[in-house]
Every structure is written in structure tokens, then in C-alpha cells.
Amino acid sequence: MEYYIYGYARVSTQQQELTRQLDLLEKYKCTEIVTGTKSNRPELNRLKDKLRAGDIVVVESFSRLGRSTKDLIDLVSFFEAKKVKLISIKENFDTTTPQGILMMSVFQAFSQFERDLIVERTKKGLVSARARGRKGGRPTVSNRDITKALNLYKSEEYSIKEIVEMTGISRATLYRYIKKNTSKELA
């Protein structure tokens, strides 16, 4: 099976130069070198779309690939899911080696740990809010307000904006009930 070696270089500011990164990537005989300078990283997104199982992505350092630890972990997980190998020159990280595979497992463990912490903090926050009398979730809407809103809508005399203002029902709720009512009428 044929695979490609993609080099990826990125600078964070206009004042930085890509030259040093490009020189290092050239040594890896990359099939293609992708460079990025924009904060939304369209070149990285295009690269991610091109990647196929067996391909290799080479970066000068992890700091050039991910903008944060979470971002880096997400990218490493993305590469693993696509069966794309990753090499970071500065960190001497290579997922084609047993040590690199071990580090990949460590990254995934940290990623799962972070997700678990977020879930735990969210649950504790909800319990704390409920203890202070805050409920959370969607506000309840009375059947009377829903009926009024639907009747105003059916009259075709008012815009959605006007109906929302008159009834206090959110635009999303109104559309949900319009859709639900239309489905019932068609059945």
C-alpha cells in the first residue's frame, strides 16, 4: 500500500519564520509540506481531509501542531483513529515505534481523565445550583401560551418575531411546536 509523508509547519505570528521548520522537514523526505499561518488553521484542516491509513505526519515540535494540550491530544487521537502515524522531531516522538505507541496511550488516558473531570465538575455544579434553588434546563412553557402562539401563527397575520414577543415563547420552541403540529395534521 502506498503512503504519503506529510510535513506540517506553522507559525503563530507574522514575524515568525517557517525556514527552520521547513529545513528540518526536508530531511524527512516529505511527499508534501503543508504550512499554516492563520489562527483557524485551514491548511491543517485540509491536511486532515487528505490523510489515509498508513500516512505519516511529521512536525518540528508538538507546539507547532497543537495550540493547547487539549488540542494536541485531540489531534493525536484523530491521527490514531485514522491509523496515521505521527512524528515530532523535537520531542523524539514517533508512533511507528513501541515507545511512541506507549506515549499515544498516555495521551489518550489524559484525554479521558480530562473528560471525566469535566463531567464530574458539571455534576457538582448542578448539585450546587440546585441546592441554591436554581433548576436549570429549559424554562417550562404553559399549554395556554403554546396554544396562543400556534393560533397566532395559523392566523398568518403575525411574523414569528411578533409571536415570540407577544407570547414570551422562544423562537426555537415555537418552531418545534409548529413542526410537531404540522406532522400531526399530515398524519
pLDDT tens digits, one per residue of 121-158: 989 988 888 899 887 777 788 899 999 999 999 999 99
SS3 84: coil
How many domains does the chain contain in total?
2
Instruction: Please list the active-site residues.
Output: 12
Residue of higher predicted confidence among 92 and 186: 92
Do 104 and 13 lie in one domain? The reply is yes
- Do residues 11 and 74 share a domain? yes
pTM, 2 dp: 0.58
Distance CA(146)–CA(166), nearest Å, equals 11
Residue 1 has pLDDT above 80, yes or no: no
* Most confident residue range from 33-37, 70-74, 169-173: 169-173
- Mean pLDDT over each residue of the chain, to the nearest integer: 86
CATH assignment at residue 34: 3.40.50.1390
Q: What is the DSSP string of 159-184?
A: -HHHHHHHH---HHHHHHHHHHHHHH
Per-residue cell: 183:
406532522
Q: Judge if 149 and 74 occupy the same domain.
A: no
Percentage of the chain beyond pLDDT 90 is: 33
Are residues 94 and 177 located together in one domain of the fold?
no
Same domain, 148 and 106: no
Q: Which domain holds residue 61?
A: 5-110
Q: Does residue 71 fall inside a structural domain?
A: yes
d(CA 11, CA 14): 7
For the stretch 43-75, pLDDT in tens is 898 999 999 999 999 999 888 888 777 788 888
Strand partners, 5: 56
Say how far residue 49 (Cα) sits from the centre of its chain: 15
Which of 88, 110, 132 is the endpoint of a domain? Answer: 110
pLDDT at position 187 over 70:
no
User: 10 Å Cβ neighbour count for 187?
Assistant: 5
User: Are 12 and 89 contained in the same domain?
Assistant: yes
Give the pLDDT band (50/70/90) at residue 103: confident
Tell whether the model's pLDDT for residue 80 goes beyond 80.
yes
